[in-house]
């Protein structure tokens, strides 16, 4: 049993398929889903929650691999430590490649890797939480349910995390081949992208009316799907997470509204149906007129122009405009093309916006290291496989080739070059399959581009050309059927592709008239999306970011490329990045086809083990040498182990180093050394031991030097004091001598005076002469001691306590430097007050005053003093003194804690380290009265009031509190009320922009300017209902009312005539009426 529970399969004594499968099965039954193959991690999807990720993440930090069980956190830690240069090699870019079938757990593995890397590089920044929020955002827009996976990634992404030292400084997302055709068509058992169900379940009824949304079964693009109560709750939570992720990353409110409106327009567009009209001109059906109006309002275009773009094509030939009418099928294709392109560009804009908001804010000359995580679609083989499946499987062929090249080809080639005694391990090389797809000019993609260039070519022509070119190829099989189809023998399995739609999806064109129509849309986001250009790799480049991207892509964006060519180029760029980095591999295994927990299908698992080449991988990891540094690289890195400086970087030095380390199992070639996968960790451990020893030596050396310096300073102080005492003694002696001389002089003067008196007494008596009176000294003026001038006198410093002697390390608090610091502090304080007054005051004021827990700009010590005698859970919020932000001070069990509150670029508030953004401070406080603040999960219970009623703590901010004026009440005007009911959103009737019921509508324009001024002066608190709405909301609302009226009429006529209803998605039938 112990043998079967081996954590590293490379250590198995018997290596065959049976022992490999038995080992994985036994570990899976004990919920041990992670297993090593040397330095490669195998992960089996459990299809259930396991308590493997709740333990302290610091356990997998600079850990010994043998001391802890296999875990995906260990891979994240190894990549992070290797990027920093702590794993026996210098700092180098890393990449983590996650591969496996659809439903094997690649997306969840990506989220776990990101989570642990952000924990390892945790710093005092909100950037880590923003990066973690990217995954749920992209999942909502890029994932969908398939028959193989409920949360299948319908696009590929490569996440580049960029680091400066140990902290993350930015991130970039590279996306590959979004499956846009899913927007307009899903096979049985599949669904559209998650975001549509999130919107329809999570948006409230009032907002649905604003966006023009109905129930999900009303929409053809959703196949008439209805949501149960459990599904509504599930998708509502997902929608809340998506909105929070947008707020955390930094999306503006108006951008979110425009984006949701465009998505609603895509759904409305799908319900437009056509029928023949007068002549050859098409017209929309009676039940689709309302949907056309709704789609035009949601897209921000004119209804007539949208209809014209769908039913005809305008072209200019020799200066003459030619109008070509569409057939019904062409009009429906144009409708679906608009929906696919619009959704694809929304998704591309989201990725571009995320990259813009998470771009590194550092000097461009600073070198950043990188960890890349590849989460790409798994190998797929459905009942019907189309163009997207071909591209997805091609990407998996590329990844398999990268794995084979790194593990087998490159390694065994070096064995041969270095003349090692090695028995060649054969593996399944998929290079011929890649040549079948990518060879120019006769590869599958080249022939597809060639046929796509001919307007009259058909899918049958394309498949016939493939059959004629590749009928003898071992990896290609001809299919005899009525529909165009062909089969490719991939590395994983044989896949039959349905050729219908290959040319159209590869072209991915949109008529110029539609592009011009949307560029002129009144919705800024839609105009931006269609004015943007597409790079050579298929990346959306908005106009403002175009110049920065052109240099990177080096591509003339005016030249249109096919989807296949873009995907081929993007795969090439991806492989270049991966070959330039040190790879780490995670092989995900799917235990069964039914997505059931605790069920293991041995034959299904064995198929995956075989086509992934895991048996051969175990053999080469057990017998081979995965680390192969040159003599120079090894000597440069590990010369410290000899404790000798300036050793030659040659073979003899390497031998000397290895002989001192007592490491066994390595071998030496002609130009490089060959090590097992565990040798790198052992050498890194030796370097770490030496580094810790060096730290101890440095610590003691610095202690000795500091002690020596201290003794020198003490001796110098003693000498100074001795010299001072000697100087004082000398001055005392001089003063005594001076006093003696003065006494002698006074005695001599007294004797002389007495002699004079005696002489005078001997003279005859004469009348006395009066002496002049001495002038009485005037008293000092009182103003010299007190008065206005006394305020300018320097304060008398408090004397130092006699318990403390002066030391040579006392700081001088005076001087110009101190004055500069004081001036800078006051300057920052004034700037913060100005920021609060101009941008924040009215957001905090409620009902004419600040909340009781708001204490203005007080110091940290003052806040702690206020909470000293308060109960546990008491809190207050204060303005930062030196930054534009707030601090929440919380009374904890043993101490006060201070949480920084930051403002996002979109005006949202978030506690540093939290994963939720809030529209206001009050919302933040109310939320954390129910949800604890991480990491201690502390609840806000008791607000800390002001210290006294007469002088509040925010006295310097008190002048900002406005007093609302009294507004006279007037009777509502019926005309204004009717117009408001038609054109103003139901939740904005009290907003400043709403019609005033107390005055006629003709006076509204006259009073607009006065109303805006009054709003700026009198508005105490922002109205939570005052939020952005779609640009053409009145048109959307009228269109939705028309749709509902038509549906009601159709429902009534159906009830009267007893006619069988149409299918569930019919736009004129509502199931909830």
Q: Could you list the active site residues?
A: 102-103, 107, 149, 152-153, 378, 380
Torsion, Cα 948 953 957 959, to 10 degrees, reads 10
Are the CB atoms for 663 and 682 separated by under 8 Å?
Answer: yes
Best CA proximity match to 235, nearest among 190, 191, 267, 194: 194
Alpha helices in 763-839 (DSSP H): 816-835
- Residues comprising the chain, all counted: 1073
Best CA proximity match to 876, nearest among 49, 859, 1037, 143: 859
Measure the CA–CA gap between 730 and 735, rounded to whole angstroms: 8
Query: What is the 8-class DSSP label of residue 243?
Result: H
Question: Is the previous residue joined to 936 through a cis bond, with omega within 30 degrees of 0?
Answer: no
Within 436-546, strands assigned E span 476-478, 485-489, 494-498, 533-534, 540-541
Are the CB atoms for 138 and 350 separated by under 8 Å?
Answer: yes
Which run of H or E residues covers position 156?
Answer: strand 156-164
Torsion, Cα 331 335 341 345, to 10 degrees, reads 150
Please identify which residue in the block is written with the tokens 């590293």.
8
DSSP assignment string, 722-752: HHHHHHHHHHHHHHHHHHHHHHHHHHHHHHH
Burial of residue 690, with CB atoms counted within 10 A of its CB: 0-12 exposed, 13-18 middle, 19 or more buried: middle
Q: What SS3 class is residue 118?
A: helix
Are the CB atoms for 110 and 98 separated by under 8 Å?
Answer: yes
Measure the CA–CA gap between 835 and 801, rounded to whole angstroms: 42
Q: What SS3 class is residue 673?
A: strand
Q: What SS3 class is residue 355?
A: helix
Measure the CA–CA gap between 525 and 300, rounded to whole angstroms: 10
**Cβ within 8 Å of residue 544, ≥6 positions away:** none
Please identify which residue in the block is written with the tokens 């700037």.
831
Best CA proximity match to 621, nearest among 575, 679, 581: 679
Q: What SS3 class is residue 233?
A: helix
- Per DSSP bridges, beta strands 942-943 and 874-879 are parallel
């Amino acid at each position: 049993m112990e043998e079967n529970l081996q954590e590293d399969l490379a250590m198995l004594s018997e290596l065959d398929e049976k022992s490999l499968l038995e080992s994985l099965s036994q570990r899976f039954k004990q919920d041990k889903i992670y297993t090593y193959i040397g330095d490669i991690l195998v992960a089996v999807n459990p299809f259930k929650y396991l308590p493997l990720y709740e333990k302290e993440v610091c356990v997998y930090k600079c850990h010994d691999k043998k001391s802890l069980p296999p875990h995906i956190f260990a891979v994240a830690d190894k990549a992070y430590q290797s990027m920093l240069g702590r794993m026996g090699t210098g700092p180098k870019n890393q990449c983590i490649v996650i591969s496996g079938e659809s439903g094997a757990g690649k997306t969840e593995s990506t989220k776990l890797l990101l989570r642990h890397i952000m924990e390892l590089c945790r710093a005092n920044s909100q950037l880590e939480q923003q990066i973690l929020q990217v995954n749920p955002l992209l999942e909502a827009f890029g994932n969908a349910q398939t028959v193989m996976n409920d949360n299948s990634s319908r696009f590929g992404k490569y996440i580049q995390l960029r680091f400066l030292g140990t902290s993350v400084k930015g991130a970039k997302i590279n996306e590959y081949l979004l499956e846009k055709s899913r927007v307009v068509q899903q096979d049985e058992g599949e669904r559209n992208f998650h975001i549509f169900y999130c919107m329809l379940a999570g948006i409230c009824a009032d907002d649905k009316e604003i966006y023009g949304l109905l129930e999900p079964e009303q929409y053809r693009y959703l196949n008439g799907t209805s949501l149960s109560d459990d599904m509504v709750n599930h998708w509502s939570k997902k929608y809340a997470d998506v909105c929070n992720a947008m707020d955390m990353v930094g999306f503006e409110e108006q951008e979110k509204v425009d984006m949701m409106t465009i998505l609603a327009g895509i759904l409305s567009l799908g319900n437009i149906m056509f029928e023949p009209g007068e002549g050859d001109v098409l017209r929309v059906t009676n039940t689709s007129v309302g949907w056309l109006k709704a789609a035009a309002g949601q897209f921000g275009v004119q209804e007539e122009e949208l209809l014209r773009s769908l039913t005809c094509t305008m072209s200019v030939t020799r200066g003459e405009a030619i109008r070509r009418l569409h057939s019904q099928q062409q009009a429906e294709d144009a409708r679906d093309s608009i929906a696919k392109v619009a959704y694809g560009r929304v998704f591309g804009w989201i990725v571009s916006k995320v990259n813009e908001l998470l771009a590194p804010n550092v000097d461009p000359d600073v070198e950043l290291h990188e960890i890349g995580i590849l989460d790409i679609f798994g190998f797929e083989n459905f009942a019907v496989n189309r163009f997207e499946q071909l591209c997805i499987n091609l990407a998996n062929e590329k990844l398999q080739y990268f794995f084979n090249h790194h593990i087998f080809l490159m390694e065994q080639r070096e064995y041969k070059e270095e003349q090692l005694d090695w028995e060649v391990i054969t593996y399944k090389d998929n290079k011929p399959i890649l040549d079948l797809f990518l060879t120019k000019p006769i590869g599958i993609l080249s022939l597809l581009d060639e046929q796509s260039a001919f307007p009259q070519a058909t899918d049958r022509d394309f498949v016939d050309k493939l059959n004629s070119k590749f009928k003898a190829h071992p990896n290609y099989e001809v299919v005899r059927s009525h529909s165009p189809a062909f089969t490719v023998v991939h590395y994983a399995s044989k896949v039959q592709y349905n050729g219908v739609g290959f040319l159209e999806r590869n072209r991915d064109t949109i008529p110029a008239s539609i592009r011009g129509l949307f560029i002129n849309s009144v919705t800024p986001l839609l105009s931006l999306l269609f004015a943007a250009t597409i790079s050579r790799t298929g990346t959306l480049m908005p106009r403002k970011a175009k110049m920065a991207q052109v240099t990177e892509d080096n591509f003339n964006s005016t030249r249109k490329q096919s989807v296949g060519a873009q995907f081929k180029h993007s795969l090439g760029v991806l492989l270049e990045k991966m070959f330039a980095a040190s790879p780490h591999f995670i092989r995900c295994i799917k235990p069964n086809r039914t997505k059931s927990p605790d069920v293991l299908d041995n034959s299904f698992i064995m198929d995956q083990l075989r086509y992934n080449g895991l048996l051969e991988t175990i053999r080469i990891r057990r017998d081979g040498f995965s680390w192969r540094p040159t003599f120079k690289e090894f000597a440069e890195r590990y010369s410290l182990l000899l404790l000798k400086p300036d050793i030659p970087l040659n073979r003899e030095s390497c031998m000397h180093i290895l002989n001192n380390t007592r490491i066994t199992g390595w071998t030496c070639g002609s130009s490089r050394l060959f090590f097992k996968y565990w040798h790198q960790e052992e050498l890194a451990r030796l370097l770490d031991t030496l580094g810790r020893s060096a730290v101890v030596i440095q610590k003691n050396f610095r202690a000795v030097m500091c002690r020596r310096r201290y003794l020198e300073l003490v001796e110098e102080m003693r000498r100074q004091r001795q010299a001072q005492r000697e100087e004082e003694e000398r001055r005392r002696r001089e003063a005594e001598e001076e006093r003696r001389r003065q006494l002698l002089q006074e005695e001599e003067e007294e004797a002389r005076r007495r002699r004079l008196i005696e002489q005078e007494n001997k003279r005859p008596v004469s009348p006395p002469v009066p002496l002049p009176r001495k002038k009485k000294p005037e008293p000092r003026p009182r103003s010299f001691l007190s008065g206005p001038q006394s305020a300018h006198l320097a304060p008398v410093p408090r004397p130092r306590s006699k318990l403390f002697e002066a030391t040579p390390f006392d700081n001088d608090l005076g001087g110009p430097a101190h004055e500069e610091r004081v001036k800078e502090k006051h300057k920052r304080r004034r700037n913060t007050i100005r920021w609060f007054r101009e941008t924040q005051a009215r957001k905090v004021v409620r009902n004419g005053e600040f909340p009781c827990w708001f204490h203005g700009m007080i110091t940290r010590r003052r806040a702690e003093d206020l909470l000293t005698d308060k109960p546990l859970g008491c809190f207050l919020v204060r303005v930062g003194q030196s930054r534009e932000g707030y601090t929440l001070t919380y009374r904890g069990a043993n101490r006060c804690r201070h949480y920084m509150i930051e403002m996002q670029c979109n005006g949202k508030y978030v506690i540093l380290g939290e994963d939720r953004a809030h529209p206001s401070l009050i919302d933040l406080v109310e939320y954390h009265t129910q949800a604890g603040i991480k990491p201690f999960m502390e609840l806000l219970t008791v607000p800390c009031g002001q210290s006294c009623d007469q002088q509040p703590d925010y006295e310097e901010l008190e002048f900002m509190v406005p007093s609302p004026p009294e507004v006279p009440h007037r009777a509502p005007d019926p005309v204004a009320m009717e117009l408001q009911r038609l054109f103003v959103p139901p939740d904005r009737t009290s907003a400043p922009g709403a019609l005033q019921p107390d005055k006629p509508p003709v006076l509204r324009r006259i009073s607009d300017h006065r109303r805006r001024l009054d709003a700026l002066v009198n508005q105490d608190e922002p109205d939570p209902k005052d939020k952005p709405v779609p640009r053409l909301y009145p048109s959307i609302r009228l269109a939705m009312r028309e749709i509902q009226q038509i549906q009601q009429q159709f429902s009534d006529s159906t009830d009267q005539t007893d006619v069988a209803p149409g299918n569930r998605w019919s736009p004129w039938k509502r199931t909830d009426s």
